[in-house]
Structures are given as structure tokens and as C-alpha cells.
């Protein structure tokens, strides 16, 4: 049986990273400061973070049969993620993105390939025993039907499930498949705009309480530089972000999610877990791409003790 403690089921992406002196337009295309390729995707990058932080992790998703698909798979292998349950789809890689990164601010714009979510995994392609042997299942809403079934299997086996609710632009919506997942997961960590789109509310604390009524036990809303807002039935608190020199914010939310799972598996309280996840995200932001800057466990602990003193502040599992 696999020794994998965390399984991700969702999107694994081939990223082309273009760091620009300014965002290109037809009239003013500008020049690239740096160009690279990397693996990406909300779930896959979170799983890479879990593995780099010292917890064995596996990824379930799809990859194309062309060169881009092979590079995407290899990027997971290079990060020691178990890819034994990845499924190849014949034809070109569709889960691929060009990320334009503003060199001055670190902010980015993504352009994805048409048919990005075509070829979703089916329930019959899942290995139930592999999934339920893990302690945590992490989802990003991809392969929605398979993800919902995997969530139910995981709970039957006594495991935990986390969902990444990606950022939603103003006026955007949360679809029925994502709402169905929200209702069944243990932890929801969502980006800016997801909570308002899901609940119709604007106040972050009111949003958190409303989402708890939908099913999750823990709700964390990440708001970039404004930090993270945690809501449970017992408490609510804000975790400030760490001030670092930002090169690229690509993947910061994704690695936050992976690091949060690691904190939970170490038995830390929710405040320490949020601080740890925030530190991992801040350290990642200092390098180009979603994965290159992900720190090790020891590097993160050293950073936290440098910034916050003796850490963690509470015994494992206590606030």
C-alpha cells in the first residue's frame, strides 16, 4: 500500500511564465524580462508544496500525450510527487496556461487553452483504495463528479477533505458543482471574491459564518496582502500576511493550501497553521513561477522564528 498521506484530485497545469516589463498590448507589446516553463494548477501546486514540506503526497489528474503533457507530468515527478494514478488523455495538453507577470508588482494575467476542463476524470477511473489510504484529500473543483465521489469515500474512511475555492471576479458566480463540493468538505480555503459570490454577503466574518452553515467546519478566506480570515464555530481571527520582496504571486494561494494541510497533519492549532501557510506563501512569492520558490519545512520554520520569535507558540493541537 502507498505511503502517501495527502492525495490531490484536480487540475495539473503546464505553465508558460512570461515576466514582463509591462503588460503587453497590440500597440505596445514591450519586452520580456524573463521566460520559463513550470508545472502549475491549483491542486497540483498545493500537492507539490505538501511534498516539499516533508509530507508524502500523490496527485490524481490528467495529462496530454504531447510534449507539453510530458513536461507537466515530469514536473510532478521531479518534485517527488507520486503520479501513479495520473491518467493520460490522447492528444494535445489542454490544461495549459500562459501567465504574464508584471515585473514591477508581481501581479499576473492568465490565458488558458480552449477546452481547459475537457476530458474530466470519471468515477470509474479512480482508485478508491489509494484515495482512502491517505489522511487528507485536496480538491480544487476540477473533475467535479469524480471529486464529489472521492469526498464521500474519504469521509466513509474517516479522512479529511479540503477544497480550494479559487478567486472570483466582481460579479462572478459559483457554479452548482462547486456548491455541491462546498457542502461536503471539512475545510474550505477560498480566494478573494469567492465568499461574496457564494453567499451574497460582503462582510468577511458574516461570509465565514454563512459558509459554516453550508457544511465546512473551517473556513479560511485569503485576501492577498490583507492576510487570511479564519472562521469556525468556536472562533474567528485574522492572520496578517508577511512583508517580503515580491517577484511573482503566481501560486501563492495554492501553496497556502498545501501548507495548511501540512500544519494540520503536524497537529498545530489553527492560528499556527494559518501562520505557517502564510509564511510558505510569502517565501514562494520571492521567485518566478508557482513552484520554484516553495520553501522546505526547515526554511519555513526558520523564517517564522526570525519574524515571530519562538514558534510555534502553543502545544500541538491547542490554542
Given a contact cutoff of 8 angstroms between Cβ atoms, the answer to whether 174 and 141 are in contact is: no
Q: What is the pLDDT of residue 38?
A: 86
The reply to whether 222 falls in a domain is: yes
Helix (H) or strand (E) holding 256: helix 252-265
On the question of pLDDT at 318 being above 50, the answer is no
**Confidence grade of residue 160 (pLDDT, cut at 50, 70, 90):** very high
**Confidence grade of residue 315 (pLDDT, cut at 50, 70, 90):** low
Lowest mean pLDDT among 189-203, 259-273, 287-301: 287-301
The reply to whether 115 falls in a domain is: no
Can you tell me the distance from the alpha carbon of 83 to that of 151, in angstroms, rounded to the nearest whole number? Answer: 20
The reply to whether 319 falls in a domain is: no
Q: What is the pLDDT of residue 69?
A: 94
* β-pair partners for 62: 87
Q: What is the pLDDT of residue 114?
A: 87
Q: What is the pLDDT of residue 287?
A: 85
The reply to whether 197 falls in a domain is: yes
The reply to whether 21 falls in a domain is: no
**Confidence grade of residue 116 (pLDDT, cut at 50, 70, 90):** confident
Number of domains in the chain: 1
The reply to whether 106 falls in a domain is: no
**Confidence grade of residue 101 (pLDDT, cut at 50, 70, 90):** confident
The reply to whether 174 falls in a domain is: yes
The reply to whether 315 falls in a domain is: no
Can you tell me the distance from the alpha carbon of 185 to that of 241, in angstroms, rounded to the nearest whole number? Answer: 25
Q: What is the pLDDT of residue 221?
A: 98
- The tens digit of pLDDT for each residue in 186-236 reads 999 999 999 999 999 999 999 999 999 999 999 999 998 999 999 999 999
DSSP E strands, 96-184: 96-102, 108-112, 136-139, 160-165
**Confidence grade of residue 289 (pLDDT, cut at 50, 70, 90):** confident
Q: Give residue 163's domain range.
A: 6-11+42-92+120-308
On the question of pLDDT at 15 being above 60, the answer is yes
On the question of pLDDT at 108 being above 80, the answer is no
Helix (H) or strand (E) holding 67: helix 67-78
On the question of pLDDT at 319 being above 50, the answer is no
**Confidence grade of residue 314 (pLDDT, cut at 50, 70, 90):** low
Say how many C-beta atoms besides its own lie within 10 A of residue 223's C-beta. Answer: 17
Q: What is the CATH number of the domain that holds 171?
A: 3.40.1190.20
Coil vs helix vs strand at 312 = coil
**Confidence grade of residue 99 (pLDDT, cut at 50, 70, 90):** confident
Amino acid at each position: 500500500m502507498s505511503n502517501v498521506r495527502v492525495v490531490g484530485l484536480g487540475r495539473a497545469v503546464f505553465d508558460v511564465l512570461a515576466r514582463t516589463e509591462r503588460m503587453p498590448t497590440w500597440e505596445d507589446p514591450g519586452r520580456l524580462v524573463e521566460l520559463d516553463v513550470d508545472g502549475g494548477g491549483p491542486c497540483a501546486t498545493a500537492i507539490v508544496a505538501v511534498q516539499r514540506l516533508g509530507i508524502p503526497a500523490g496527485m490524481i489528474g490528467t495529462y496530454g500525450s504531447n510534449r507539453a503533457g510530458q513536461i507537466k507530468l515530469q514536473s510532478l515527478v521531479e518534485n517527488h510527487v507520486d503520479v501513479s494514478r495520473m491518467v493520460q488523455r490522447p492528444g494535445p495538453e489542454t490544461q495549459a496556461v500562459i501567465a504574464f507577470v508584471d515585473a514591477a508588482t508581481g501581479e499576473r494575467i492568465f490565458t488558458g487553452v480552449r477546452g481547459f476542463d475537457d476530458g474530466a476524470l470519471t468515477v470509474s477511473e479512480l482508485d478508491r483504495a489509494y484515495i482512502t489510504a491517505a489522511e487528507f484529500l485536496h480538491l480544487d473543483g476540477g473533475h467535479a463528479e469524480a471529486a464529489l465521489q472521492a469526498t464521500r469515500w474519504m469521509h466513509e474512511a474517516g479522512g479529511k477533505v479540503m477544497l480550494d475555492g479559487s478567486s472570483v471576479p466582481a460579479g462572478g458566480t459559483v457554479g452548482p458543482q462547486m456548491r455541491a463540493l462546498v457542502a461536503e468538505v471539512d475545510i474550505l480555503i477560498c480566494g478573494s471574491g469567492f465568499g461574496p459570490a457564494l453567499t451574497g454577503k460582503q462582510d468577511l466574518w458574516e461570509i465565514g459564518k454563512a459558509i459554516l452553515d453550508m457544511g465546512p467546519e473551517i473556513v479560511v478566506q485569503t485576501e492577498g496582502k490583507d492576510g487570511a480570515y479564519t472562521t469556525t464555530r468556536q472562533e474567528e481571527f485574522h492572520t496578517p500576511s508577511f512583508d517580503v520582496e515580491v517577484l511573482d504571486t503566481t501560486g501563492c494561494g495554492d501553496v497556502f493550501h498545501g501548507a495548511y494541510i501540512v500544519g494540520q497533519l503536524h497537529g498545530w492549532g489553527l492560528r499556527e497553521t494559518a501562520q505557517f501557510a502564510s509564511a510558505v506563501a510569502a517565501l514562494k512569492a520571492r521567485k518566478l513561477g508557482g513552484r520554484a520558490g516553495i520553501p522546505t519545512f526547515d526554511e519555513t520554520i526558520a523564517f517564522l522564528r526570525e519574524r515571530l520569535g519562538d514558534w510555534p507558540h502553543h502545544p500541538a493541537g491547542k490554542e
